[in-house]
Chain A
Amino acid sequence: MLLKLAWRNLWRNKRRTLITLASIFFAVILSTFMVSLKEGFYKGMIDSMVGAFTGYAQIHATGYWADKTLENSFEFNDSLAYRLKNANGLSSYAPRVESFALAASSEITRGTMVVGIDPKKEMLHTDLQDRVIEGEYLQEKDQGALLGEALAKYLKVGVGDTLVLLGQGYHGASAAGKYPIKGIVKFGSPELSKQLVFLSLQATQKLFDVEGRLTNLILLPDQKSETDELVQSLQSSIGNGYEVMAWQELTPEIINMMETEKMEGYVFMFILYMVISFGIFATILMMMAERMHEFGVLVAVGMKRINLAMVMILEILSISILGAFLGMLGALPICLYFYYYPIKLGAELEEMVADYGMEAVLQASISPNIFIQQAIIVGLIGCAIAIYPLWKISRLDAINAMRS
């Protein structure tokens, strides 16, 4: 009965209800679309940074991340292989040896990070192969090297030239080797571009004298969104001798940047939600003022205040939820459109995002969470506004109300 009363009350003043619904509808469309674009942007950023180099998660020996030396490498033994094979939610893994070395051409030297990869397995985890802009990608047991574009430029070398690497190997052994440059790799991130040298895993292990040992295992989860769960379950399964880290921990600069972006987004969203809140609140104020006499009569004839408040709350929630639902329906085709046909960024922005290794498009996200989140927020706004009639009705005096 209360629901029926609330629903019919909503349509007592159709124009007002429709205007309120429209304000919620358009605000939800706008907020959903904004969030969808932002999430899409973040996803692009994560995919490009994570997909270019770090992977979604990594395993190291405990202490390696704090002190990245070969002394903190680990032996890839059968027990670890068995646990990884049986890990839930793990799609694949790729081995790496990473260490620092001095790279030299005939004239110039520079400090670099040498990354030993299994070329075939690496393809499943990063898009390194696609980033080769000159020359060829590595083969298994390859003795050649891939160089970041900026590094090659700095060293004034190209495909076919020889690169000399000098460094310190495992247990203080000296590490030195000559490698023909097999390809040049383009990274969006200038930091990666000017310091990365890729060798085959075998060549790297030989260079640093770490045969049978690794510094990193790059992990690919079945579901990227379940990376955290995978990290937790693996950490408990493989034990304390290893540290399992998700991409958020591996690339904190992305998180920092996203947080900054999000703060800006929150301000905009706050303004939008305020528009929604005032729209609903204005409607509720008018509804309350118009019906104060009626409220007095209802309390006089025996309607409990809590029931009366419930009618008002149902009215507020109905209009909020209906507006939010219609807004979600309205936002869906827009988000879908910009998911399949992303917005192409202008030349200036294109340069900026290229620095992060991202494609110069802004693709909307169609994650259901975005839509549900908007509905929940509008529902919560409705609940918060419902406090007003609750308070007003709890203090209602039937006689005074009937006189109004």
Chain B
Amino acid sequence: MKKNYVIEAENLSKIYAGVVPVKAVDEVNLQIQDNEFTAIVGPSGSGKSTLLNMIGGLDRPTSGTIKVNDILLNGMTDNQLINFRLHHIGFVFQSFNLIPVLTAKENAEFIMLLQKVPLQQREKRVMSLLKEVGLDDKLDSRPSQLSGGQQQRVAVARALASKPDFVLADEPTANLDSKSAFNLLDIMARLNQEEGITFIFSTHDQRVIDRARRVITLEDGKIVSDEIR
């Protein structure tokens, strides 16, 4: 019987044109199932971020196909991709990337506003998410009033607010101290185990790799190992 994959990439390649064309991702085949906690690792320039960008619909492959929950991303227009990301994918970035003029609560609520979720539902969900990431006492704080770890937790709440099919986290612990990094990983692992949220990380961080249940290693754009723990 065919398995249902959240993400399914087939012969995925990305070549950056230039005087010397660079093959950032080379014929990658990858399937990710629901509820995975997967780390994509590899040295700088191995193609992790490019692969993650293509999975997230931010970048288009040169060849190959990519499906999210059986929906093919290849043929979508820019606006369709934006809409798709809004409803299906959560993003956590290395440098938090919260909107500086909005409070923690407003930042977490922002995606739901774009989704036009009714006020009551929004309020309920944002409160529960901020409680989940341990920031229910920082609702009205602006990002500049929060530590790096706290900002990244708001970013996680924002990524989850849209009830995405999966969360893509690009080096989420890179700018965090150890304590904040462990704290964040604990939260994400708990969300994965208790709520079944699928997380895909690109990372160098051994702390993340140690917590991952699947580790995909890229080198020169190719998958060189795929370890399920």
Residues of A near any B CB (own CB < 8 A): 1, 5, 8-9, 11-12, 293-294, 297-305, 307, 398-399, 402
Contact = CB atoms under 8 A, between A and B. Distances in A.
A300 B114 contact: no
B113 interface: yes
A305 B114 CA distance: 12
B79 A304 contact: yes
B72 interface: no
B82 A304 contact: yes
Contacts, number: 54
Interface string B99-136: 11110000000110111000000000000000000000
B83 interface: yes
Interface of B: 53, 56, 58-59, 78-79, 82-83, 85-87, 91, 93, 97, 99-102, 110-111, 113-115, 158, 162
Contacts of A299: 82
Helix, strand, loop or mixed for chain A's interface? helix
A47 to B, nearest CB: 53
Contact of A300 (B56, B78, B100): B56
A11 B85 CA distance: 30
Contacts of A303: 82, 86, 114
Contact of A302 (B53, B78, B83): B83
B101 A8 contact: yes
A35 B110 CA distance: 46
A294 B102 CA distance: 13
A299 B102 CA distance: 17
A305 B81 CA distance: 12
Nearest to B78: A305
Given A300-B56, A301-B86, A304-B82, 6 more contacts: A1-B113, A5-B101, A12-B100, A293-B97, A302-B115, A402-B97
A398 B58 contact: yes
Contacts of A12: 100-101
The 5 closest A-B pairs by CB, nearest first: A302-B86, A8-B101, A297-B97, A302-B85, A1-B113
Contacts of A9: 101
Nearest to A307: B114
A299 B93 CA distance: 13
Contacts of B53: 399
A294 B82 contact: no
11 contacts: A8-B102, A293-B97, A294-B99, A300-B85, A300-B91, A301-B111, A302-B83, A302-B162, A303-B82, A304-B83, A305-B82
